[in-house]
């Protein structure tokens, strides 16, 4: 039986929809067979009540179990060649940027099956014309056809070893172009593929992870009660062009995930979903790219006591823009529990626990309102994962996590981070926030909550715990490597850890009110807007202070980290009971640093700020009551390549 996504809603409204998509396919190791129907077979006339329309994507199965796929009217069978070696090169994989996805996705949840037709637009961001367009999907999925300008193209399919998918492999179709794609030029491709997505722990088991533990990490699958597809880095259910990466090769896997997210930032995205489900088991929630999508559910009746017809759930994202994220798809049978700025979707066994989560959200709400404004841009969705041991996943305004009981302080800390992202995540077509003003602000707010609840030392301790990874990633000098300026960062240690440090430093330079107002009123998608507002608020509420040097060294470019040293500490008597302490500080790094300098005596302590230029030296003179006994430069708020706290006694 044929079906058309274009007419799917109308079919569902008629009260009964039956899909026949063929049998779930195995890994694509041999050419996909496309068998045209016999010439003598009579044409199947559409039922009178069904709307007439053009079939854009159809699949049928004959009595022998052979599957036929047709894309568009009178489509010619695609020519798929199985390659023993990849045709595409890494330079070609890096050059391809996806600028648009327009997807029709059909799920048969009882069979763990997915069938996709997608119109994807790619741009050549490489330096040379592209002879091939590499397109990759999970190795559990099979390419069926690729069309350019309405015509099927021949393409070889190779299997790549890559741990960007939970199977540890990808199927790469290398589309050979009749004319090379010039630098900056774009091309649209009409692709179809299908297969099964079941839970797989192949990549983790292969490096020695126990199977149970691996499955709690790699829990992506299609199923009736729960479908979770987290996207690139977990399961590649949509076309990508990526470098093959193996787990254990340093941080390359996380960098490649970040590179994919950065290349997708701002891409146009639309997904029309049609999901078949067994009679009496309709899904209640659909989440695409972290946002809840309205489901139109048509429950079927039964033909007789032994035969039941699947129901259908339909959803449409409409036109959206991707943020710094991997496209994700969740479909589940859960119960909704609305709360303050959130909705929790739970399993029956976790319904009691929801009260703890909603209470925690209420507790942190005033804190978030003070910093981020009175209302979140999107409500947070909490999605209960199937197993209490499953690893959490967060994207946009979605936190997928086992919703079991926990201590209030643990839930509050988790919700500060997730609700911050909901506060910043737009619910419409507005461009989502840049990565360092999404992950960075969420991490920053988490440390501020720690400061509020446990004190400043604990908050700085949390930053310090992540500093060592930052020092390893940062270039020793700007000439050694370009590093990762925050607007173009792909590694979490930059867009999360360094971004949080930058926001802490802005607190000291501009004041909490200036940073809070900028977070509330700046456009999240425009870091320049944020920087401008911080500067304006700093000048309005205090002494004029030019932050251009800070933006240049810490945001717009990556000049590494400062490396400070106390060169001299010279206390001299001044007036009766008072002393003047001269402190000389040098900076061996390539980024300037504005740090607190604290001089202590037995009676008191005095703190002043000192701007130490890159590759330079500065002197701070501090008047203090009593003989100075100790000086401290930096308190941990400015990350350094070595220690971030320097203390020297007067007897040194």
- The one-character DSSP state at 103 is E
Q: Give the pLDDT confidence of 153-181 residue by residue, as tens digits.
A: 999 999 999 999 999 999 999 999 999 99
For residue 76, give Cα distances in angstroms to 72, 151, 193, 547.
9, 8, 16, 62
Contact assessment for residue 348 and residue 384, using Cβ atoms and an 8 Å cutoff? no
Q: What is the CATH number of the domain that holds 636?
A: 2.60.40
Domain check: are 410 and 503 in the same one?
no
Contact assessment for residue 196 and residue 25, using Cβ atoms and an 8 Å cutoff? yes
Percent above pLDDT 70 for the chain: 85
Question: Is 30 inside a domain boundary?
Answer: no
Predicted confidence band of residue 83 (pLDDT cuts 50, 70, 90) = confident
Question: Is 72 inside a domain boundary?
Answer: no
Q: Using the predicted structure, report yes or no on whether residue 308 has a pLDDT greater than 80.
A: no
- Give me the pLDDT at residue 28, please: 62
- Beta-strand (E) ranges in 149-201? 151-152, 155-161, 169-181, 186-196
Question: Is 32 inside a domain boundary?
Answer: no
- Give me the pLDDT at residue 5, please: 35
Domain-terminating residue out of 417, 449, 474:
417
Dist CA 367 CA 413 (whole Å): 12
Decide which of 67 and 349 is more confident.
Answer: 349
- Give me the pLDDT at residue 46, please: 36
When divided into structural domains, the chain yields a total of: 4
Q: Give the pLDDT confidence of 448-503 residue by residue, as tens digits.
A: 999 999 999 999 999 999 999 999 999 887 767 788 999 999 999 999 999 999 99
**Which candidate, 367, 343, 373, 649, places its Cα nearest to that of 518?**
373
- Give me the pLDDT at residue 271, please: 98
Domain check: are 121 and 192 in the same one?
yes
Domain check: are 340 and 399 in the same one?
yes
Question: Is 142 inside a domain boundary?
Answer: yes
Q: What is the CATH number of the domain that holds 228?
A: 2.60.40.1730
- Give me the pLDDT at residue 651, please: 80
Domain check: are 161 and 93 in the same one?
yes
Domain-terminating residue out of 332, 354, 379:
332
Domain check: are 495 and 587 in the same one?
no
For residue 471, give Cα distances in angstroms to 166, 463, 556, 641, 644.
30, 12, 18, 5, 11
Domain check: are 474 and 528 in the same one?
yes
Predicted confidence band of residue 278 (pLDDT cuts 50, 70, 90) = very high
Domain check: are 97 and 201 in the same one?
yes
- Give me the pLDDT at residue 43, please: 35
Question: Is 480 inside a domain boundary?
Answer: yes
Question: Is 425 inside a domain boundary?
Answer: no
- Give me the pLDDT at residue 79, please: 66
| Section 537-557 average pLDDT | 87
Mean pLDDT across the chain: 86
Q: Using the predicted structure, report yes or no on whether residue 258 has a pLDDT greater than 70.
A: yes
SS3 label, residue 338:
strand
Question: Is 506 inside a domain boundary?
Answer: yes
Domain check: are 284 and 146 in the same one?
yes
- Give me the pLDDT at residue 44, please: 36
Domain check: are 483 and 606 in the same one?
no
Domain check: are 370 and 325 in the same one?
no
Domain check: are 85 and 207 in the same one?
yes
Percent above pLDDT 90 for the chain: 74
Domain-terminating residue out of 509, 532, 554:
554
Q: Is residue 39 left, alpha or beta, with left meaning phi > 0 and alpha meaning psi from -120 to 50? A: alpha
Contact assessment for residue 109 and residue 276, using Cβ atoms and an 8 Å cutoff? yes
Q: What is the CATH number of the domain that holds 382?
A: 3.30.2010
Q: Using the predicted structure, report yes or no on whether residue 569 has a pLDDT greater than 90.
A: yes
| Section 16-22 average pLDDT | 32
Domain check: are 375 and 456 in the same one?
no
């Amino acid at each position: 039986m044929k079906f058309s996504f274009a007419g799917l809603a109308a079919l569902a409204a008629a009260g009964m929809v039956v899909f026949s998509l063929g049998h779930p396919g195995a890994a694509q190791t041999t050419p996909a067979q496309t068998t045209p129907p016999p010439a003598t077979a009579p044409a199947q006339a559409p039922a009178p009540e069904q709307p007439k329309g053009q079939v854009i994507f159809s699949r049928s199965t004959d009595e022998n179990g052979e599957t036929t796929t047709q894309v568009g009217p009178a489509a010619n069978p695609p020519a798929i060649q199985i390659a023993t070696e990849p045709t595409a090169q890494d330079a070609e994989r890096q050059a391809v940027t996806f600028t648009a996805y327009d997807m029709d996705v059909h799920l048969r949840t009882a069979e763990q099956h997915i069938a996709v037709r997608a119109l994807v637009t790619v741009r050549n961001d490489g330096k040379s014309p592209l002879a091939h367009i590499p397109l990759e999907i999970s190795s559990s999925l099979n390419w069926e056809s690729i069309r350019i300008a309405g015509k099927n193209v021949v393409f070889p399919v190779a299997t790549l070893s890559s741990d960007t998918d939970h199977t540890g492999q990808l199927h790469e179709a290398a589309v050979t172009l009749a004319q090379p794609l010039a630098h900056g030029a774009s091309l649209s491709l009409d692709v179809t593929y299908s297969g099964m997505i079941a839970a797989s722990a192949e990549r983790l088991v292969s490096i020695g992870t126990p199977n149970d533990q691996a499955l709690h990490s790699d829990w992506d699958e299609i199923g009736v009660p729960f479908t979770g597809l987290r996207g690139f880095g977990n399961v590649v259910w949509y076309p990508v062009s990526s470098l093959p990466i193996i787990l254990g090769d340093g941080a390359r896997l996380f960098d490649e995930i970040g590179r994919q997210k950065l290349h997708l930032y701002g891409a146009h995205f639309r997904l029309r979903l049609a999901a078949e489900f067994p009679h009496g088991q309709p899904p209640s929630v659909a989440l695409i790219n972290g946002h809840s999508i309205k489901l139109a559910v048509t429950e079927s009746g039964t033909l007789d006591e032994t035969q039941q017809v699947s129901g259908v759930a339909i959803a449409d994202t409409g036109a959206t823009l991707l943020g710094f994220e991997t496209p994700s798809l969740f479909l589940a049978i859960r119960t909704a529990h609305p709360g303050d700025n959130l909705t929790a979707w739970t399993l029956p066994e976790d319904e009691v626990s929801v009260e703890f989560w909603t209470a925690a959200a209420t507790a942190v709400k005033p804190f978030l309102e003070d910093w981020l404004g009175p209302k979140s841009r999107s409500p947070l969705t909490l999605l209960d994962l199937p197993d209490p041991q499953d690893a959490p996943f967060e994207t946009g305004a979605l936190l997928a996590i086992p919703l079991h009981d926990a201590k209030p302080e643990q839930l509050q800390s988790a919700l500060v981070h997730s609700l911050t992202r909901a506060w910043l995540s737009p619910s419409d077509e507005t461009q989502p926030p840049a990565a360092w003003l999404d992950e960075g602000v969420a991490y920053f707010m988490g440390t501020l909550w720690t400061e509020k609840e446990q004190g400043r030392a604990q908050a700085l301790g949390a930053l310090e715990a992540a500093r060592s990874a930052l020092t390893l990633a940062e270039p020793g000098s700007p000439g050694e490597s370009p590093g990762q300026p925050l607007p173009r960062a792909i590694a979490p240690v930059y867009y999360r850890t360094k971004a949080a440090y930058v926001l802490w430093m802005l607190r000291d330079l501009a004041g909490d009110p200036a940073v809070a107002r900028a977070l509330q009123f700046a456009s999240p998608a425009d870091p320049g807007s944020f920087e401008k507002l911080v500067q304006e608020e700093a000048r309005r509420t205090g002494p004029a202070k030019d932050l251009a040097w800070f933006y240049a060294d810490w945001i717009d470019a990556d000049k590494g980290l400062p490396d400070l040293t106390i060169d001299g500490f010279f206390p001299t008597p001044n007036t009766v009971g008072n002393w003047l302490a001269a402190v000389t500080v040098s900076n061996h790094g390539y980024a300037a640093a504005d740090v607190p300098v604290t001089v202590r005596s037995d009676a008191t302590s005095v703190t002043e700020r000192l701007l130490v230029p890159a590759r330079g030296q500065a002197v701070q003179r501090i008047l203090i009551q009593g003989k100075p006994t100790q000086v401290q430069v930096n308190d941990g708020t400015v990350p350094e390549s070595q220690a971030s706290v320097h203390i020297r006694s007067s007897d040194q």
